[in-house]
Amino acid sequence: MRIFTFLLFFIVSFSNADVLRISDFQVDIYSKISQNTTKKISMTLELVGTDLNDNEAYVMDALNVIVGSFYVEDILTSLGKERFKEAFSKYTAKKHSVDIDTVLILSLKIVNNVEIDSIIQAIQARNLCSNISSNSYKNTPKNTNKNNEILINPNLNNVNQQPIDLNSIGDFGRDFGE
């Protein structure tokens, strides 16, 4: 009889629990090692709690806030993952009144940003395209015109974009009440 009562209590208590899976969540977070740079991480989470599917937007908001408060080197450690789980559960409960009972980190990894040079080198190493040179995109001629004149050039190999000096435009911003 005691086992039946315990089993009934167990089933009733978890009947309102939702499972929310967040797959391939990617976010840029700061790195301690290289100052003022961010690294993209990708994570897959499974959350168990009450009314998670109805409050998915609040859960995603809390996830963005909490992940952004960690450094990439910290969140990859065991201690960092445990602190992340604890902070995430507490923040969603306090800020959005959403109860998360369990946070399971199914995957957490750094997404490597591939540079264009490495892509070109990989293409050349496999001889997939014989007419690409690794520096051909860097050898575009520089615009020697120092004025802010608009140049129309149909040759796309001779495109050089430069920022416009907004201070040289006399009436710039006056139509917005400035």
Of 53, 54, 66, nearest in space to 92 by CA: 66
**What's the confidence (pLDDT) of residue 12?**
47
Q: Are residues 23 and 57 in the same domain?
A: yes
Q: Are residues 125 and 48 in the same domain?
A: no
Q: Are residues 99 and 75 in the same domain?
A: yes
Q: Are residues 29 and 73 in the same domain?
A: yes
Does residue 168 fall inside a structural domain?
no
Domain that includes residue 10, residue range: 2-111
Does residue 59 fall inside a structural domain?
yes
- Average pLDDT over the chain reads 77
Distance CA 140, CA 132 (A): 14
Which segments of the chain does DSSP mark as H helices, in order? 2-14, 56-68, 72-75, 78-96, 116-125
pLDDT tens, position by position, for the chain (178 residues)? Answer: 566 555 545 554 555 678 999 999 999 999 888 777 888 899 999 999 988 999 999 999 999 999 999 999 999 999 999 999 999 999 999 999 999 999 999 999 988 766 676 777 777 777 766 555 545 545 545 555 555 555 555 565 665 666 667 667 776 666 655 5
Of 104, 69, 61, nearest in space to 87 by CA: 69
Residue 53 CA to chain centroid, in angstroms? 22
**What's the confidence (pLDDT) of residue 8?**
45
Overall pTM > 0.85: no
Q: Are residues 125 and 49 in the same domain?
A: no
**What's the confidence (pLDDT) of residue 131?**
55
Distance CA 67, CA 28 (A): 9
Does residue 29 fall inside a structural domain?
yes
The answer to whether 46 and 21 have CB atoms below 8 angstroms apart is: yes
Does residue 58 fall inside a structural domain?
yes
**What's the confidence (pLDDT) of residue 134?**
46
Q: How many domains does the chain have?
A: 2
**What's the confidence (pLDDT) of residue 5?**
53
**What's the confidence (pLDDT) of residue 119?**
74
Q: Are residues 61 and 137 in the same domain?
A: no
